[in-house]
Chains A and B, each alone.
Chain A
Amino acid sequence: MSQPILEISNLHAHVEGNEILKGINLTINQGEVHAIMGPNGSGKSTLAQVLAGHEAYEVTEGSVRYRGLDLLELDPEERAREGVFLAFQYPVELPGVNGMYFMKAALNAVRKHRGLDEFDAADFLTLVREKTQVLDIPKELLNRPVNEGFSGGEKKRNEIFQMALLEPSLAILDETDSGLDIDALRIVADGVNKLKRPDNAALVITHYQRLLDYIVPDFVHVLSGGQIIKSGGKELALELEEKGYDWVKELSREGTVEAV
């Protein structure tokens, strides 16, 4: 039986006094891809931010275990070094921070934490060359200041590139598909699929079903009103697409919440 990577139980979280997450339960095992879908304002991005450790979100109840660690006790950088990776919905532009320098600093912080030798410039370049081939990302992008002036698609590809470099155990993709045309979507999804291994896992957060045509999930969860109100296999995504979010909201109101 595969090992659990992430175990979220009864997670409640506030931001600026408003309760956004109202008791999330979710277990992700090695080798699995989970998708979280839900209408706007359901708490999808809050869940991603809480897992990455954003200080604006206050956890008021519940626990998150990640590979045997109490995730909520760790600083954001410690989580990243332990292998949690959040692909941001809105990647931040960092004028004046060179992309290569940034990624080398990130990679070496992670390697140092894992007791590995830090990469020098030459090793790092070799690795970058290898990953750019796998992900088909233009090298010019990487030498520019991080995300500055990038198109929406370029920013998302840069997130996936960083993910490829850092080789996380748990990748959280927060609406990576938003703002992408179909070609960019295919490239991003292709990148994610290539990084899949039996010992890691991914949590794909999306509003639309179309990303899941390319990243096929093992499980689909519907988040609404800060709770997972329905879980199922990949076919649930198609059903949602067909019937719309009103359907699950009605299910939720009727109290016919199904759990897997």
Chain B
Amino acid sequence: MEVSGTTINFENNAITVSKKYTTENIQQFVDAFNLFSNSLNGESDSTLGAKRSASIEHFKVTGFPTTKHEEWKYTNMLPIIRNDFHPHLTLDQREVDEAFIRASGYRGEAFRLVFLNGHFLPEQSSLEGVPEGVVVTNLASAIREKTDLVLEHIVGYGDSFEHSFATLNTAHLRDGAFLYIPKNVKLQKPVHILYLTTSTDQPVVTYPRTLLIAEGGAEGSVVEEFTGKSGEIYLTNAVAEAIVGENAHLSHIKIQHESRDAFHIGASHAKLGRNANYFNNTISFGGKIVRNDPWAVLEGEGGHAAVDGLYLVGEDQLIDNHTSIDHTVPNCTSHELYKGILRDNGHGVFNGKIFVQKDAQKTDSVQSNVNLLLSDEAEIDTKPQLEIYADDVKCTHGATIGRLDDTSIFYLRARGIGKAQAEQMLTYAFAVEVIEHISDENIREYAIELLDARLDK
């Protein structure tokens, strides 16, 4: 009798939870939006205001995706959205923990924009020596000072309304990072965008927005870094947009090492012009539930997109990468390498879509997802996906799941290296290939440091 009673209670709970998921949890985000919207006090441009309103209205209708949605099959939003997240509307200077900020993130040579809980910290940023014509600033300043430029390019992503979290980000669009490299200018130093989050009284949600514009023939390198205080619960819901002009080169790296109790949802959207070269590299170490949606669209002939990623998934962690490369015109190339390391009961998801549209003849595309499974309890769900509508193309894709090679382990042990260290060396060797694709030496070394530190644990 007791057993059946428990079952009934359980079912009741299940119903309550799913009800919350469809109404109360969504209402909570809408209420938070209203607070945010009131706090703007008319500071905003009306075009952006309209974008925000349209986005929240759309969100009210669609809500969050459930696991019945093909694109969210393995990633349940409930553990994220049932937290009582609040946007951090104002930042008190007393909250700025300088020691924490200085100890967080990449410290090598760069133009640097630092944000705490979504707020720009000009004093912690370093923008000296930015070449004439180049703009490196926070997005709120850019909206005021470069209004037309921002409006011309922003919200390309949110317009599609296909991604509830991106929609929510657009609804909350206020600040973030902005980079503009004018025609034929080559930026010598990378731009480092550091998004820091700390939850003080209650779990914080931030909506950072990054807009990168490289005009024709321009060259630049950007690293977006997301981190926070370990052990804290927060949600980062980020969107980045990149416009890569004709013959421009843009390297766009994302390094995510959020608190292991935090959540991270990040989407990026890049548009490539004629002969443009775009390199996207998404490195995920942190977070409890992480979702990355990098998306690159080849819109001009002769363009090349490289979309790489590395994910290290450990205990009680889920990292889900959904990538899209869209060939819309002829004679473009794309190259994708995603590598995953899965430990303990970690769960990884890879879904890589390559679209080759009807006009995109002579497309040359290579996609590969390689996974290293280090534990019997770890799980990887991988789905490389080609959708080809043109008939004269060269596309290859593949996914593999493997373990460490016994012969290699024996070779290292036969030289005196212990089994655990041998396994760590080989795991490092597996992962470092993705990091080696980063062209900036300092950033590459920084990513290696982070990898080393994580493999040591």
Contacts and interface: CB of A to CB of B under 8 A. Distances in A.
Q: Which 7 A-B pairs have the closest CB atoms?
A: A96-B429, A80-B416, A106-B415, A76-B413, A109-B416, A92-B411, A77-B413
B416 A81 contact: yes
7 contacts: A76-B410, A86-B414, A92-B411, A96-B429, A102-B417, A105-B421, A162-B415
A96 B339 CA distance: 14
Interface in A235-254: none
B416 A54 contact: no
The winner among A77, A91, A110, A113 for most chain B CB atoms within 10 A is A77
Interface in B388-430: 406-408, 410-419, 421-422, 425-426, 428-430
B408 A94 contact: yes
Interface of A: 52-55, 75-77, 79-81, 85-86, 88, 91-92, 94-97, 101-103, 105-107, 109-110, 113, 145, 162, 166
Nearest to A81: B416
B432 interface: yes
B415 A166 contact: yes
Interface size bucket, B side?
Answer: 20 to 34
Contacts of A109: 415-418, 421
The winner among B407, B414, B425 for most chain A CB atoms within 10 A is B414
B417 A105 contact: yes
B433 interface: yes
Given A55-B410, A76-B410, A105-B421, A95 B415 contact: no
Given A94-B425, A113-B416, A166-B415, 16 more contacts: A52-B414, A53-B414, A75-B413, A76-B410, A76-B413, A77-B418, A77-B422, A79-B414, A92-B408, A101-B425, A102-B412, A102-B425, A105-B425, A106-B417, A107-B416, A109-B417
Contacts of A106: 412, 415-417
Looking at chain B's contact residues, is the secondary structure mostly helix, strand, loop, or mixed?
helix
Nearest to A83: B416
B410 A97 contact: no
A37 B436 CA distance: 45
Given A54-B410, A55-B410, A76-B410, A96 B433 contact: yes
Interface in B152-210: none
A166 B428 CA distance: 24
Given A94-B426, A96-B433, A97-B429, A80 B407 contact: no
A107 B415 CA distance: 8
Nearest to A106: B415
Contacts of B417: 77, 102, 105-106, 109
B245 to A, nearest CB: 35
B414 A91 contact: no
Interface of B: 406-408, 410-419, 421-422, 425-426, 428-430, 432-433
A88 B410 CA distance: 11
Nearest to A148: B429
A106 B414 CA distance: 9
Contacts of A91: 411
Contacts of B421: 105, 109
B411 A77 contact: no
B426 A97 contact: yes
B419 A96 contact: no
A86 B408 CA distance: 14
Contacts of B414: 52-53, 76-77, 79-80, 85-86, 88
B370 to A, nearest CB: 12
B339 to A, nearest CB: 11
A95 B425 CA distance: 11
A192 to B, nearest CB: 17
Contacts of A107: 416
A86 B410 CA distance: 11
Contacts of B433: 95-96
A51 B426 CA distance: 24
A95 B405 CA distance: 12
Given A94-B429, A97-B425, A97-B429, A110 B410 contact: no
A107 B417 CA distance: 9
Contacts of A88: 411, 414
A48 to B, nearest CB: 10
B421 to A, nearest CB: 7
Given A92-B407, A96-B429, A96-B430, A75 B419 contact: yes
A38 to B, nearest CB: 22
Contacts of A95: 429, 433
Contacts of A77: 413-419, 422
